[in-house]
Amino acid sequence: MTSAQPALRGPGTRAVLIGTGTHAAGSGLPDVPAVGTTLVDLEQVLVSRCGMADSAVRVLTDPMSPLEVGRVLAESARQGQDVLLVYYVGHGLVSPGGELYLATKSTERRPELLAYTALACTAVRDTLLESPARSIVVVLDCCFSGKAVGLLGALEGYVLTSAAREELALAPPGARHTAFTGELIGLLSSGDPDGPALLTLRYAYQYLNRVLHAGGFPKPHRRASGLIDDLVLAPNRAYHPSENVPLGQGQSSMSAPTRGWRLFGRRTPGGSSVGNG
């Protein structure tokens, strides 16, 4: 699947970027101000560095309801012929039955209302199953996102998550980006002098695993099928053949853990898991 040009340049590629950073009063969910700017910069790097057309990227910031997200997701899924990228940044919540839900603006964290006000990952899966896209990539930057690693099942695709099944995601107060997506944006926009000429999904995962782990933050998780690991995201802007060294021998771009990084999520009394990452 590797080629001389990023696979995301194809005319049949579509991306849906979804993020919820603010919530209705009484929701019980804290706002995450970094979500809005994270989506802005992610869209920009997909166009400027990955070569996607402006019209191929849909951005949903603070969608009001699961239905609003579902309509846009279904439309983009129908249009995608080559690569379909679905990216979510915001709060992840776990139902009493252990299912992962993605928050919208109207989401209420009370268990009895969760299924009606947040987007079930199973609903996302059902929509993606109907897409004619040859390759499907799902990235979830939220607490407990590891619960969705097997989201696509036997479907040809790639799922990348910012945390494990029971881990909380992190967001630095006052920072422009969430921790996980900020590192990905940095890789795509600035490159990695220790990396290959072309940045693939495989290398993006290796890079994120390295820098986040070195900083003491949650390690990403992923599941890939077929040859999708070789899908090219962008040229490596920092690539220098004479200076290139194997992965792990260069210095990490992230230093020691920064004090004040805020947890996206917390555990409720009684031990039930409720994420807001």
State pTM to two decimals: 0.85
Angle at the Cα of 146 from the Cα atoms of 140 and 152, rounded to 5 degrees? 70
Read off the pLDDT of residues 179-214 as tens digits, 9 standing for 90 and up.
999 999 999 999 999 999 999 999 999 999 999 988
**Phi and psi angles of residue 267, each rounded to the nearest 5 degrees, phi first:** -100, 140
Give the C-alpha distances (Å, rounded to integers) separating 128 from 122, 210, 233, 244: 10, 30, 20, 38
Q: How many other CB atoms sit within 10 Å of the CB of residue 47?
A: 16
CB atoms within 10 A of CB 59: 17
At 167, is the pLDDT very low, low, confident or very high (cuts 50, 70, 90)?
A: low
Which pLDDT score, from 0 to 100, does residue 170 have?
Answer: 65
- Higher-pLDDT residue of 170 and 184 is 184
119-120 and 100-102 strand pairing: antiparallel
Residue 103 region, left (φ>0) first, then alpha (ψ -120 to 50), else beta?
Answer: beta
- The residue with greater pLDDT, 254 or 203, is 203
- Give the separation between CA 128 and CA 147, rounded to whole angstroms: 17
Q: Which residues of 207-226 are buried (b: 16+ CB within 10 A; e: fewer)?
A: bbebbbeebebbbbbbbbbe
* β 83-89/135-141 pair status: parallel
Least confident of 116-120, 153-157, 220-224, 234-238: 153-157
For residue 124, give the H/E element and its range: helix 121-129
Token readout for 37 is 């700017």
pLDDT at 4: 46
What count of Cα atoms within 13 Å lies in the side-chain half-sphere of residue 162?
A: 28
Please state the rounded mean pLDDT for residues 106-130.
94
Residue pair 21/34 in contact (Cβ under 8 Å)? The answer is yes
**CATH assignment of 7-255, given 3.20.20.70, 3.40.50.1460, 2.40.40.20, 1.10.1740.110?**
3.40.50.1460
Q: Hey, where are the domains in the chain?
A: 7-255
